[in-house]
Amino acid sequence: MFTRGTLIYIGQRLVLIVLAVLGVSSLVFLGIHRLPGDALFSEHLHGTQYQLTLHHYGLDRPLWQQYVSFIAGLLHGDLGESLVNRGVPITPIVVREMSVSAEVGFVALLFTIGVGMVFGVVAATRQNSWLDYLLSTTSVIGYSMPNFVIATFLILVFGIWLDNFTQGTFYFQIGWPGRWGSIGAIWLPAFALGFPYASIVARLTRASMLEVIRQDYIRTARAKGLTEFIVTVRHALRNALIPVITILGPLVIGIITGGVVIENIFGIPGLGKEFATSILNRDYNIVIGVFTGYAALVGIANLGVDLLYVVIDPRIRY
Amino acid sequence: MAATAAIAASRPIAPEQASLWSDAWRRLRRNRLALVGVVYLALLVVVALVALVHTPYRFSEVDVGRPYSGPSGQHWLGVDELGRDTLSRLMIGAQISLVVGVGTQIVVLAIGVPIGLAAGYFRGWFDQVVTFVINLFYGIPDLLVALILVFLLGPSLTNIIIAIAVTRWMDMARLMRGQTLSLREREFIEAARASGAKPIKILFGHILPNALGPIIVQATFGVPAAILFEAFLSFLGLGVPPPTPSWGSMAAAGIVTMRIAPFMVVAPAVALSLTLMAFNFVGDGLRDALDPRSRR
């Protein structure tokens, strides 16, 4: 499956990811240093103390020297030190949060593809039935609702109303136990994050299924006496999935960026949560780190999707 | 026999000629969902216009009612955490959403259409550069770029429109390029060229009018995308600066107090969803009406 060409391709892509990460972080670094104001200014810090703090972070040097040492640090995987919590290195924080964001995104992606495909296939095989209309309407509503609206309603229903209704026996507890969370904590955020995209997948699957099930080879498969299930799944769905696969790239990016909002609503300690907190705290070093982390995450996810194409569609070679 | 022939002669053989637009309008009218969307959007525009001259309370006035109270006769949609009237804020928020949505599409049209036209018509190195840049922009996540831009430019209505347009112009440019590529090979363009029309005249007088259908559909789908973006930015605190309300920032404020005042988050969330849905319905309807072949 992975020939020598594929390995070379992966190598090239990794170089491109590094370049993209460098580009994004440089842009944010230089942009942040153009912003007015002083991140370290406070009434508790003045005179020599202030100068010493500036010196500690190297902020008293000319911009180009700061930039050179930033890039040098970045190439060593060192994103510097938090401006608010002095002495706390940023790289471990960003790496941990990247893994949490990736976890949530991955579960959301599984949900998106699973539910989207099932909905699409069911709607297509029962075209123009009430079930088809119900699913089609749901998917129009789904992709018209921003994920934070869906998240809000889910919290209202599962977090508050269910709690009141069952008098506290069953309800969704917002929170994130441990580093990796738990199944009880992840299913609702993943649902909120994936639902709009599941709607798009369902629409696409339905449309391409409708085209495929009218093909001759499907009639042949039925005429051979195969069961309806085998025909639908093995013959029709496999070919109907090809147009769906093409939107996998934008889908993954959408889920990653959508996570910024979802993590803040559900209090998940991922990159998105850190993003909002660090901007509010004016911890610019962490802001740079978060954007760097996002650039890396998007690059890696895109590479993963492109490699997945090879697995799914053997005609694709790199 | 003679009578039949006379009747046949008096009736025109071909059905009455309908232009593309009246034909599309007829098909659009038959699409119930799209009509509902049009009506809703018309109402929304009216609300936004009325809010210019009159809202029940001033949107930034605090303590007009008891904070966190639900819907009542005086405050139809309740009161927010500072005692501001939610309905008044929702009406101003409709203005913001519409301005961002339509404003962004105007910028996108102004950037995307000329670039796409030129790239598709002249081809060569210019087309290669444009295609490369478009692919480059598709490779980076749009929300992150918009976040970086708003963060660096500072939150304001103009900057939000700029930031969203920067991440959205490629769709229009790519569409326009594709349309131009196929239209430029048609006979009527060749005829125009043969009769000595200048490139500007061909591009804007002959190619552009023939690509209007897809452009309108694309722009209609672009408006809800931009509104959604603005809501995201406001939700994260990078939208229009307070006290100006935006549906996104209202929802963000409402989520915090959801347990005691669910109406604060439900009102902007429903308004936002309905608006996005209406635009999507109208967009679907326009696509089916303007290009009947694409209908499934």
pLDDT tens per residue, range B135-169: 777 766 777 788 878 878 888 889 999 999 988 88
Mean pLDDT of A287-295: 86
Residue B236 has pLDDT above 50, yes or no: yes
Lookup result for tokens 């009509």? B35
Interface touch B232/A261, C-beta < 8 Å: yes
Contact A28, A306 (CB under 8 A): no
First to last CA, chain A: 11
**A45: helix, strand or coil:** strand
Nearest CA to B165 out of B225, B240, B217, B118 is that of: B225
Cβ-based interface (< 8 Å): residues of A facing B: 20, 24, 27-28, 31-32, 34-35, 140-141, 143-146, 148-149, 152-153, 155-156, 160, 207, 210, 253, 256-258, 260-261, 264-265, 275-276, 279-280, 287, 291, 294-295, 298, 302
Residue B62 has pLDDT above 80, yes or no: no
CB within 8 Å of A269: residues ≥ 6 apart: A97, A100, A176, A263
Report the residue from A140, A152, A276 with minimal CB separation from B251: A152
Q: Tell me, what amino acid is at B81? A: E
Interface touch A152/B269, C-beta < 8 Å: yes
Count of helices and strands (H, E) across chain A = 14, 0
Interface touch A140/B141, C-beta < 8 Å: no
Interface with chain B: mutation pick from A25, A152, A213, highest number of B CBs within 10 Å? A152
Q: Tell me, what amino acid is at B48? A: A
Considering only alpha carbons, which residue of chain B is nearest residue A258? B143
Tally of CA atoms within 13 A in the half-sphere of A188 that contains its CB? 24
Question: What pLDDT score was predicted for residue B105?
Answer: 93
Q: How far apart are CA B88 and CA B243, in angstroms?
A: 12
Mean pLDDT of B63-75: 76
- The band of B107, judged by pLDDT with boundaries at 50, 70 and 90, is very high
ipTM above 0.85, yes or no: no
Size of interface A-B (CB pairs under 8 A): 98
Least confident of A57-66, A289-298, B13-22, B112-121: B13-22
Interface touch B269/A265, C-beta < 8 Å: no
- The band of B296, judged by pLDDT with boundaries at 50, 70 and 90, is very low
Dihedral of the CA atoms A88, A89, A91, A95 (nearest 10)? -30
Interface touch B141/A291, C-beta < 8 Å: no
Nearest CA to A156 out of B245, B251, B272, B230 is that of: B251
- The percentage of chain B sitting over the pLDDT mark of 90, rounded to a whole number, equals 10
Residue B232 has pLDDT above 70, yes or no: yes
Mean pLDDT value across chain A? 82
